[in-house]
Amino acid sequence: MDNTTLNDLLEGQAGTIIDIQGNDSLSARLMEMGLIPGERVEMVGQAPMGDPVEYSVVGYRLSLRRVEARRVWIQRV
């Protein structure tokens, strides 16, 4: 399995979520916000200082810090 995470996506690149790492409340919040296995996520842009990052997921824009994005394992598409 290739261990790419959301954090590795460049602007305009997309991936399909494989898994969310960890089982704390942060992971639960990520999943509540729609980051669930099988969903397609696209990296839309980043904040002026490179962090956080804007993603497009289940039809809306979500902002995540890079350290949070690192928890979301994806497969590039």
Partner 1 sequence: MDPEGVRGSLGMATVALIGNPNTGKSSLFNALCGGQARVGNYPGVTVEHKTGRMRLGSTLHKSIELVDLPGTYSLSARSADEAVSVEVLSGEMPGLARPDAVIVILDATNLERNLYLLSQVLELGLPTLVALNMWDRLESEGIAIDPKSLSHSLGVPVVCTSASKRMGVADLQAALGELLESAESSQSAREQHQPVGLASTSFPEPFRRCVEELALWFDSQGCRLPRFQIERLLIDDSQAHSYRVIPEVLTSEVTERISQARAQLASEGVAIPLFETRARYAWIKQRVAGVIERKPRERRASLSDQIDRWLTHRWFGLLFFVVLMFLIFQSITWFASWPMDGIEFATQWIGQRIESMMAPGPLRSLLVDGIIAGVGSVLVFLPQIAILFFFIAILEDSGYMSRAAFMMDKSMSVLGMSGKSFLPLMSSFACAIPGIMATRTIENRRDRMVTILIAPLMSCSARWPVYVLMVSAFVPNRSVMGGWIGVQGAVLFAMMALGALVSIPVAWLLQRFVFPGEPSTFIMELSSYKWPSLRVVMMRVWERVLAFLARAGSLILVTSVLIWAAAYFPGDHGPLDIATAKLEAEQASPDADPENMQVLETQINQLKSEMISQSYLGTAGDWIEPIVRPLGWDGKIGVAVLASFPAREVIVATLGTIYSLGADQDENSQGLAAQLRSATWPDGRPVYTLATACSIMVFFALCAQCVSTLVTIRRETNSWRWPIFSFVYMTALAYAGAWIVYNLMSFW
Write out the residues near partner 1 by the rule CB under 8 A.
20, 23-34, 36, 44-52, 54, 58-65, 68
φ/ψ (deg, to 5) at 56: -105, 120
The number of residues in the chain equals 77
* Contact by Cβ (8 Å): 6, 15: yes
Q: Which is nearer to partner 1, 10 or 49 (CB)?
A: 49
Minimal distance in Å, beta carbon 70 to partner 1?
12
Question: Which amino acid is present at 64?
Answer: L
Q: Which is nearer to partner 1, 2 or 24 (CB)?
A: 24
Minimal distance in Å, beta carbon 5 to partner 1?
15
Q: Which is nearer to partner 1, 3 or 50 (CB)?
A: 50
* Contact by Cβ (8 Å): 74, 42: no
Give the pair of three-digit tokens for residue 46.
């980043």
